[in-house]
Amino acid sequence: MTILVTGAAGFIGSNFVIDWLAQSNETVVNLDKLTYAGNLHNLAALEGNPAHVFVQADIGDSATVSQLLSTHQPRAVLNFAAESHVDRSIHGPEDFIQTNVLGTFRLLESVRAYWQALAEPEKGAFRFLHVSTDEVYGSLGPNDAPFAETNAFEPNSPYSASKAASDHLVRAWHHTYGLPVLTTNCSNNYGPFHFPEKLIPLVITNALAGKPLPIYGDGMQIRDWLYVSDHCSAIRTVLAQGQLGETYNIGGWNEQPNIEIVRTICTLLDTLRPRADGRSYASQISYVTDRPGHDRRYAIDAQKIERALGWRPAETFESGIRKTVQWYLDNQDWVAQVQSGAYREWVTQQYGQAS
């Protein structure tokens, strides 16, 4: 048995593949384009593992995808491949349309052709699982109920608009063609292998480097934080038990304002890796101009997946963030490897002198 996982050299995808192969002998075919956030170093633990087959290609490369499907005959395709950073989507939206919309369309067409040619019982057992985000739902007010699967889509950035489009395509391919799909919409992930343009790894790496910790606006933007291993376990649960055509919101039940996230990291680092001068890392906090269209609050109502499939996150924010900070302290070589010149130029462009 085999599964095909797209975008599996990225942050969430690589964690999923590592977790999967730690629990199963089922072969994983890993398809990744290796853009700036795709990193084979994330998969170093799988080197020499015959159950892990890596192929560098774009999900929009229909010929390569079709060949892989034909050769490996996967029982499921899990689509993690996406451009995923809001700030980058503001500066360069076309890449997000290309990957998240056109790429998803071409992947769906390749998978549909493969699935339609399968004989039973393989055809009936096949699944296409699409991994998406809570950002498709827009922004919440301070007293609004968390996002449920029935919320209307109200995306506010090029990134979230492109992901909303991909979700709609997946739904349409199910209702029009009968493709057996499942969709998950997750809250903000954090954990090992997180590319350091996102808030938590950026704060950790900047703090250790003695750089300012850039906080957008007043820092009171609220997010629901989900430890990446919990997200992986939820996806495995949805793949195994999810009802065809359904969407499942995956959240951590951990709403936190950004400034509190940063202060928590500083407090942990003060204990685990104190500054030589004895001062708190919180002294490095620096406020920068808020980004355009910054959503104020996201929150996930994850009752459906708990009620229907019995899944709940194993980590609290306190346990997950401690594991995350310790991982970055223990893996400084990985951090140095991903912080290329192009990455440094991006941080300077985005945060100015606060980088």
To the nearest 10°, the Cα dihedral for 319, 323, 326, 327?
Answer: -170
Which residues fall within 8 angstroms of residue 136, CB to CB, at 6 or more apart?
153, 155, 160, 163, 164, 167, 185
159 noted as active-site residue = yes
Amino acid at 69: L
* C-alpha closest to that of 126 among 168, 178, 59, 163: 178
Q: Choose the catalytic residue: 134, 167, 295, 315.
A: 134
Q: Exposure pattern of 154-175 as b/e (b: 16+ CB <10 Å)?
A: ebbbbbbbbbbbbbebbbebbe
- Structural contact between residues 31 and 57, judged by C-beta atoms closer than 8 angstroms: yes
Phi-psi region of 59 (alpha: psi -120 to 50; beta: other; left: phi over 0): alpha
Q: Choose the catalytic residue: 32, 58, 83, 135.
A: 135
190 noted as active-site residue = no
Q: Choose the catalytic residue: 159, 190, 298, 328.
A: 159
Q: What is the arrangement of strands in the sheet containing 127-133, beginning at the earlier edge strand?
A: 52-56, 27-32, 2-6, 76-79, 127-133, 181-186, 247-250
Q: Exposure pattern of 273-301 as b/e (b: 16+ CB <10 Å)?
A: eeeeeeeebeebbbebeeeeeebebbbbb
- In the chain, the largest separation of any two C-alpha atoms, in whole Å, equals 68
134 noted as active-site residue = yes
10 Å CB burial of residue 332 (0-12, 13-18, 19+) is exposed
Catalytic sites, residue numbers: 134-135, 159
